[in-house]
Chains A and B, each alone.
Chain A
């Protein structure tokens, strides 16, 4: 992705503006499921004079940790605009590689940073951390209260009663398709999950699927945007709480979930913000599920790197996250 490609694309999208210039094109590290590029653009517009914008381009990778598509994220950002859930405004989506080699979409770059460790360990953000924790819980309650009827393309299980088993079977299929070696710990975990299915949720909710510290933007004003919706689906809302509670996201190195507050504090704030009741047994189910899901994401990445589908070394490195997940799973199931 380079300046010339982006200028040509913006000219195509905005034929009535003049003097389009693009600068500071840079790929943002991370983003193991989709490439994330940042760039600045400026142009002249009749009546508006000089316009300057900061953009993010999300482009399909050559290989990925996840089988996902741009349409879902683009549609979600579009549907969530104005809902009170902070998401970046999206502009354009391209479903082929005509303009920048692979499909992509473009959205505005919101203010703030995503780095989780900085948020939870830097004295600079110590003062805002309680607010971030409260917003993290209340935004999640809003996400779970969003009417999924507005999202017809959202993947969903056949019923609320089938939602947990639907997710278990979906990830089990992924594991069987992508694993390059036997996975006895995950097999035991799948057996545990199938024997401990939670009661069905009252209704199917919008599940973010990757709601964690590190996937929202923050600054001194608190959370400025919720990102990375590529695993969103309809399901049991407690799935999101199970995911954000796993040990992998305890960035502060203690028991605080996501490094921002205790599990009990988070649940209290979530319920107070209108989220449903969080039962301990249901949360444990989704916490175990989330460790399994995380491990399978890295099994997919391992397959991509071993088969030479990508040069992204992050996918090789993340394979070595799995031993820690296996230890955690075995402890949770003991």
Chain B
């Protein structure tokens, strides 16, 4: 039904700007108010795309980890073998499209990327890890794209 939740957020934002902002006197309270308005904007932006963003991210992470596991299988080093074992069974897919389920899957997958982080990093210039280099580039690209999606322009330098 209307208003949709994002429309409610926008209405609250408009309402507080109209009714509360003129009452503020100190620079501190005005600054806090401005922070609140930016946060309303972030919440409204992220509300609509939260589910597809997580579904896409989880699909991508699953593929990246599968590729990394395959690359690790061919590297004869103990740390690579440990990482390969850690990736042998990926976490189960979310059981529903609830945000809590999708976030749980996402965190489990990102935890696995964290677990193999030292090897991913070293693959950049360690000849023994050359097979992992394409995975490194792909994981970097995914993490960068994911971060760019979450960026708030007013808070981004440069």
Decide if B158 touches A253 in the complex (CB within 8 Å). Answer: yes
- Bound complex: CA of A324 vs CA of B156, how far in Å? 6
Decide if B148 touches A323 in the complex (CB within 8 Å). Answer: yes
B: which residues have CB within 8 A of A? 26-28, 30-32, 35-36, 38-39, 42, 107, 110-111, 113-114, 117-118, 120-122, 124, 139-140, 143-144, 147-152, 155-158
Q: How far is the CB of B147 from chain A (nearest CB, A)?
A: 4
Decide if B35 touches A191 in the complex (CB within 8 Å). Answer: no
Given the known interface contacts A183-B114, A184-B114, A313-B32, the answer about A327 and B144 at a Cβ–Cβ threshold of 8 Å is yes
Decide if B157 touches A29 in the complex (CB within 8 Å). Answer: no
- Bound complex: CA of A254 vs CA of B143, how far in Å? 24
- The number of chain A residues with a CB under 8 A from chain B is 40
Within 123-176 of A, Cβ neighbours of B (below 8 Å) are at none
Within 8 Å of chain B (Cβ to Cβ): is A75?
Answer: no
Picked from B39, B107, B113, B147, the residue with its CB within 8 Å of the CB of A326 is B147
Question: Contacts of A323 on B, CB cut-off 8 Å?
Answer: 147-152, 156
Known: A188-B120, A324-B147, A324-B156. 13 other contacts (CB 8 A): A27-B27, A29-B28, A185-B143, A188-B121, A191-B117, A191-B122, A192-B121, A247-B158, A253-B158, A314-B31, A317-B155, A323-B149, A324-B155
Picked from A28, A192, A330, the residue with its CB within 8 Å of the CB of B143 is A330
Question: Contacts of B42 on A, CB cut-off 8 Å?
Answer: 320
- Bound complex: CA of A183 vs CA of B106, how far in Å? 12
Within 8 Å of chain B (Cβ to Cβ): is A211?
Answer: no
Question: Contacts of B32 on A, CB cut-off 8 Å?
Answer: 29, 312-314
Main secondary structure of the interface of A (DSSP, over half): helix
Decide if A317 touches B38 in the complex (CB within 8 Å). Answer: yes
Decide if B147 touches A327 in the complex (CB within 8 Å). Answer: yes
* A-B residue pairs, 8 tightest by C-beta: A29-B31, A187-B117, A191-B121, A313-B35, A184-B113, A182-B110, A326-B147, A323-B147
Decide if A316 touches B35 in the complex (CB within 8 Å). Answer: yes
Given the known interface contacts A27-B28, A184-B110, A192-B121, the answer about A320 and B140 at a Cβ–Cβ threshold of 8 Å is no
Decide if B111 touches A324 in the complex (CB within 8 Å). Answer: no
- Bound complex: CA of A191 vs CA of B115, how far in Å? 11
- Name the residue among B28, B36, B38, B152 with the largest chain A CB count within 10 angstroms: B28
Closest chain A residue to B125 by CB distance? A195
Q: Mark A191-214, 1 if CB is under 8 A from B, else 0.
A: 110010000000000000000000
